[in-house]
Structure 1
Amino acid sequence: MRKKTALATALVAAAALTLSACSTGGDDSGKEPVAEISAPEDVKPGTVLDRPYTKPDLVLTDTKGKKFDLREQTKGKPTLIFYGYTKCPDVCPLTMSNIAIAEKTLPKADQEKLQVVFITTDPERDTPEVLGEWLPSAGDASFIGLSGDFATIQAGALQMGIGIDPAKKEKDGTVVSMHGAQVIAFSPKTDSGYVLYGESTTADQFAEDLPELVRGENP
């Protein structure tokens, strides 16, 4: 378990306010993406929070078009929650891929317990159908993809200290989406978000911590 200090707490707070600026061409034609990522370099992955987050009381729509009550349907289950969008050129697919790789190192029974939830920050383009097509290739078919009203999604993110802005189309047609890139782990014992991972967390680092997270223990 990593020792918590006042400095670590301050850095975590700073990370929660950091947004990743990602942009893709307005026509999504596969042109070279532009991305600007900014985060405090000293924030270590797997920081145990002094003040855990309450799981957002969100009801959104899953990839099958059904209502998904986040708090109720992940109750008592180890859960990783990440906010991002499918047109993100780098951070979002890399994060999903790293978690998917790490998940496969767990015993089968633990893989079935772990809930990985991807909540779009760009619901206008990320419909349930789009999420359903993207998640298996970016991460794993078992991952839960959620879409819905942007205001609802934004409010839920803020409850976890994650800032997101509506996708913005520039004059040149470039679409820019600003979103926090933290992954927050929720304990199956308390249903509270008690461990925060920064965008630099690798697959090996996730794999190292997942056994403890599945049991609701501090990594």
Structure 2
Amino acid sequence: MTRIQKTVFMLVAVVALIVGLTVNKVIHNQRQGEPTAMIDAGIILLPQSRSLPGVKMTDQNGQAVQVDEFKGKWSLLFFGYTFCPDICPTTLAQLRQIKSELPKDALGQLQVILVSVDPNRDTPQQLKQYLGYFDPDFRGLTAGSIDDLQKVANALSIPFIPADTSKPNYTVDHSGNLAIVGPDGTQRGFIRAPLNNQKLVAQLPELLKRQ
């Protein structure tokens, strides 16, 4: 194992440990006051909401978007990329299926957003074409720099390891969890991977009733 590989391995291990400890703490606190069905569905609510950073990104239509202005709807943010060989297409296909089974009144309150961890390749045009394969209503966001992207990822506790873009066909290590952002524009929690379609279809409408 090379020095770079060892460094990346250690970073991934540290990030996984921190995220694991955070989620376990939240689950412990949540079990004292939240329905077990929601926890069983992988929906982990934070004891206190978190503000999002004022980072400007670009959506799949080439329009500027302020991350701290996701308001009016519940948002599920998934950090992935269009060249991902496995977890991303699987997760997006699951989210499409979950959406198709939700009540109509719930659909109007919910949006799915793919935040690209590969701004080097994921142009707005690439995001739009890719997301169109799954659901034309899915939104995509790409950052102007890795630093901006990491600010958003760190604020939401959704880790990823920046890729070595000099290598051909590179991949990006990232989390499969989803961040839950409420209609007030603050983070309310997470949905843990892997997604359970049946349980999420049953519990997401209950989440959307919250203020």
Task: Quickly name the TM-score band, shorter chain normalised.
Answer: 0.7 to 0.9
The residue correspondences of 1:7-156 to structure 2 (distance < 5 A) are 10=21, 12=23, 45-72=42-69, 74-137=70-133, 139-149=134-144, 150-156=146-152
1:51, distance to aligned residue in structure 2 (A): 3.7
Q: Distance in 1 between matches of 2:166 and 2:58?
A: 28
The one-letter code matched in structure 2 to 1:58 is: V
- Offset from partner CA, 1:135-178 (integer Å, 9 cap, x none): 121x311011011222111111101112222222586x441312
Moved beyond 3 Å, runs of 4+: none
**Aligned length, in residue pairs:** 179
The one-letter code matched in structure 2 to 1:198 is: R
Q: Distance in 1 between matches of 2:132 and 2:203?
A: 23
The one-letter code matched in structure 2 to 1:53 is: R
The one-letter code matched in structure 1 to 2:209 is: R
In the other structure, the counterpart of 1:184 is 179
| Equivalent position SS for 2:160 | coil
1:131, distance to aligned residue in structure 2 (A): 0.3
Segments of structure 1 that go 5 or more residues without pairing to the other structure are 1-8, 16-42
The one-letter code matched in structure 2 to 1:113 is: Q
In the other structure, the counterpart of 1:39 is none
In the other structure, the counterpart of 1:159 is 155
Matched, 1:210 2:207: no
Report if the CA contact (8 A) 1:86-1:126 is conserved: yes
TM score, norm. by length of structure 1 = 0.72
The one-letter code matched in structure 2 to 1:178 is: D
Change (3 A) 1:13 1:170: farther
Q: Distance in 1 between matches of 2:47 and 2:98?
A: 25
**Which deviates the most, 193-202 or 78-87?**
193-202
Q: Distance in 1 between matches of 2:129 and 2:118?
A: 15
Identity %: 29
| Equivalent position SS for 1:57 | coil
Report if the CA contact (8 A) 1:49-1:195 is conserved: yes
